[in-house]
Amino acid sequence: MYKLYWNPGSAAMAPQVILLEAGAKVEFILVDGDKGDLKKAEYLKLNPHARVPTLVYDDGQVMYESAAICQFLVERFPALKLAPAVGHADRARYLQWMAYLTNTVQEALMHWWHGENFIDGAAEQAKLKAKAELRLAKMWTFLDGELAAKGPHLCGDTFYACDYFLVMLVRWSRMTEKPGHLYPQLNALIRTTLASPAYAQMLKDQGIEQAV
Residue 190's contacts (CB-CB under 8 Å, 6 or more residues apart) are 167, 170, 181, 210, 212
**Count of domains in the chain?**
2
Q: Which secondary structure element, helix H or strand E, spans residue 56, and what is its range?
A: strand 54-57
pLDDT above 90 covers a percentage of the chain that reads: 99
Q: Which of 50, 80, 110 is the last residue of a domain?
A: 80
Number of Cβ within 10 Å of residue 49's Cβ equals 10
61 and 7 assigned to the same domain: yes
Whether 209 is in a domain gets the answer no
- Per-residue pLDDT, averaged over 124-130, amounts to 97
Residue 10 pLDDT grade (very low, low, confident, very high; cuts 50, 70, 90): very high
C-alpha separations of 101 from 1, 123, 124 in Å: 28, 28, 25
Q: Looking at residue 41, what is its pLDDT?
A: 97
125 and 55 assigned to the same domain: no
CATH number of the domain residue 159 falls in: 1.20.1050.10
Whether 206 is in a domain gets the answer no
pTM, rounded to two decimals:
0.97
Q: Looking at residue 147, what is its pLDDT?
A: 98
Q: Domain range for residue 15?
A: 2-80
Q: Looking at residue 173, what is its pLDDT?
A: 98
Whether 139 is in a domain gets the answer yes
Residue 22 pLDDT grade (very low, low, confident, very high; cuts 50, 70, 90): very high
113 and 42 assigned to the same domain: no
d(CA 46, CA 71): 19
pLDDT tens-digit map of 67-77: 999 999 999 99
